[in-house]
Amino acid sequence: MSSHELAVVVLAAGKGTRMRSAHPKVLHPIAGRPMVHAVLSAAQPLEAGRTVVVVGPDMDELRRAVAPLPCVVQRDQAGTGDAVRAVREVLAGFEGDLLVLYGDTPLLRAATLQALVEARHAQPGPGLVLLGFRPDDSTGYGRIVLDGEARPVRIVEERDAGDAERAIGLCNGGVMIAHAATLFGLLERVGRDNAKAEYYLTDVVALAAADGLARGLVEAAAEEVLGVNSRAELAVAEAVLQQRLRAAAMVGGATLIDPTTVWFAQDTQVGRDVLIEPNVVFGPEVRLGDGVTVKAFSHVEGADIRDGATVGPFARLRPGTVVGEGARIGNFVEAKNSRLGSGAKANHLAYLGDTAVGAGANIGAGTITANYDGVRKNRTEIGARAQIGSNAVLVAPVKVGDGAVVGAGSVITDDVEADALALARPRQTTIPGGGARTRERAVNRTLEEDD
Ligand code: UD1
Ligand code: CA
């Protein structure tokens, strides 16, 4: 089996000119995560022995995004063939197959890549297998020319194609698997005599045919191979991916009342018997346990929402938030880097930043943890079963003990011990008859002015 060891290379060095962006194309997010992450996760189940990303010079942002995967720099963006050549050195002595993926095709499915690997395994000697598809609109894609036995004989890029070739419906999806050493050998013979004056990876197909090597084809559904070259195509890909994520959540046992208004991230984990109301947005790194309800108009990112908890409507959960079992976050509550114990409640109009709330505690309406002193973020700790009255401000760093009660409107700057009552507000003064006298004076003033 050692001859079928697998390496994956993801081409991501292209400038992505058509995006008109300061950032590498493959870093543009789709479902909340960089496009290239979607490509990498499609390849993950193949468990390739090594994965390399080809990046352009000055693409540190991209290197960081794919770390710890190794990157190879392609000096000039001289085409997809040149990009694959860039990994030749790091794969020196590698005897297996190389799967080439383009970083700008984020809708690829793992099963399709698996089919390519299997098709390659079925070939008798060194050879290559392409991924083809038949889009409604072939504009911009290379066309795959087949021989009488349905084997690819060459790929013609659109700009280099004549009318007859342009009429071919079968397009190149940009994924190829080939015996690595053979592929590098073929690439040495690829020139740049074409419309873009680039080294096309696609030219290896004609060379393989000339050498009598095995050439196979796997066909994928058109939507799966959509290449993202512009913002408009990015929006189309986003819509397709969202539809898949919504369908997967429902298959997994979640109810989405209006699926088209719920936006997931590539990595959202959704439990069973979850109810998601309309107009909810999930950013990256969200986990919803079983029986969770997320009510309308909530925005949730980087949050772990445990079994039976309720969030929203109109809640904002930011990274580092844990909502414990059966806990409740209500309307107009924002939480950041905060942990609510099981059964704790913050039901109305609160801000919890860098805060730990114990089990069963209740955070009154309008409570704010003042976590930022202008220099540092400080922590607030609220004990189990504590009760924080409405409109309290807890000035961090500060601790409120288990079972303690904080009076409404208090500004708490000192720690409160367990079971204590803390009041930090002026005492109320009531003057009998004072209200009536005040009104009388006001009326008299108006009469004088009218005279
Ligand atoms: C390419 C294919 C085309 C196929 C289409 C599928 C070639 C010559 N053409 O065209 O047959 O139908 O994809 O989507 O391969 N890249 C580099 N270095 C470079 C150039 C590109 O790393 O020098 C990377 C890009 O970042 C991108 C990928 O390769 O992720 C594809 O490049 P792109 O320029 O988008 O190719 P297409 O013109 O779309
Ligand atoms: Ca492309």
Distance 18 CA to ligand 1 centre (A): 12
Distance 441 CA to ligand 2 centre (A): 79
3, pLDDT greater than 70: no
CA-76 nearest atom, ligand 1: 23
| 16-39 average pLDDT score | 96
Please tell me the predicted confidence (pLDDT) of residue 99.
98
CA-74 nearest atom, ligand 1: 18
| 288-298 average pLDDT score | 98
In short, whether 282's Cβ falls inside 6 Å of ligand 1 is no
| 180-184 average pLDDT score | 97
256, pLDDT greater than 50: yes
Distance, in Å, from the CA atom of 236 to the CA atom of 444, rounded to the nearest integer, reads 70
Phi-psi region of 264 (alpha: psi -120 to 50; beta: other; left: phi over 0): beta
CA-157 nearest atom, ligand 1: 11
| 73-78 average pLDDT score | 94
Q: Whose CA is nearest to atom 31 of ligand 1?
A: 102
Distance 39 CA to ligand 2 centre (A): 13
pLDDT in tens, 227-240: 999 999 999 999 99
Please tell me the predicted confidence (pLDDT) of residue 154.
97
Please tell me the predicted confidence (pLDDT) of residue 102.
97
Distance, in Å, from the CA atom of 357 to the CA atom of 136, rounded to the nearest integer, reads 54
| 74-103 average pLDDT score | 96
- Residue with the bigger pLDDT between 15 and 202: it is 202
**Residues pairing with 72 in the sheet:** 54
H helices present in 44-139, as ranges: 60-66, 80-85, 110-122
pLDDT in tens, 109-166: 999 999 999 999 999 999 999 999 999 999 999 999 999 999 999 999 999 999 999 9
Distance, in Å, from the CA atom of 83 to the CA atom of 373, rounded to the nearest integer, reads 50
451, pLDDT greater than 80: no
pLDDT in tens, 310-320: 999 999 999 99
Q: Are strands 411-412 and 393-395 parallel, antiparallel or unpaired?
A: parallel
54: CB partners within 8 A, 6+ apart: 9, 10, 11, 12, 13, 71, 72, 73, 74, 83, 84, 86, 87
Distance, in Å, from the CA atom of 226 to the CA atom of 444, rounded to the nearest integer, reads 79
On average, the pLDDT of the chain sits at: 96
| 260-277 average pLDDT score | 98
H helices present in 88-201, as ranges: 110-122, 163-166, 180-188
In short, whether 203's Cβ falls inside 6 Å of ligand 1 is no
2, pLDDT greater than 60: no
Which ligand minimizes its atom distance to the CA of 55? Answer: 1
272, pLDDT greater than 50: yes
Which ligand minimizes its atom distance to the CA of 170? Answer: 1
Which ligand minimizes its atom distance to the CA of 157? Answer: 1
Active site residue 299: no
Distance, in Å, from the CA atom of 359 to the CA atom of 257, rounded to the nearest integer, reads 31
In short, whether 371's Cβ falls inside 6 Å of ligand 1 is no
In short, whether 12's Cβ falls inside 6 Å of ligand 1 is yes
- pLDDT confidence bin for 4, thresholds 50/70/90: confident
pLDDT in tens, 384-397: 999 999 999 999 99
**49: which 2 tokens?**
């022995």
pLDDT in tens, 354-383: 999 999 999 999 999 999 999 999 999 999
| 196-200 average pLDDT score | 96
Which ligand minimizes its atom distance to the CA of 12? Answer: 1
Single out the catalytic residue among 23, 121, 299, 348: 348
Please tell me the predicted confidence (pLDDT) of residue 449.
86
Distance 176 CA to ligand 1 centre (A): 12
In short, whether 13's Cβ falls inside 6 Å of ligand 1 is yes
| 24-32 average pLDDT score | 97
Total residues found in the chain within this entry: 451
Q: Whose CA is nearest to atom 22 of ligand 1?
A: 13
Mutate to test the pocket of ligand 1, among 25, 73, 76, 80 (most ligand atoms within 8 A of CB): 80
In short, whether 237's Cβ falls inside 6 Å of ligand 1 is no
In short, whether 87's Cβ falls inside 6 Å of ligand 1 is no
Please tell me the predicted confidence (pLDDT) of residue 1.
42
Please tell me the predicted confidence (pLDDT) of residue 44.
97
- pLDDT confidence bin for 414, thresholds 50/70/90: very high
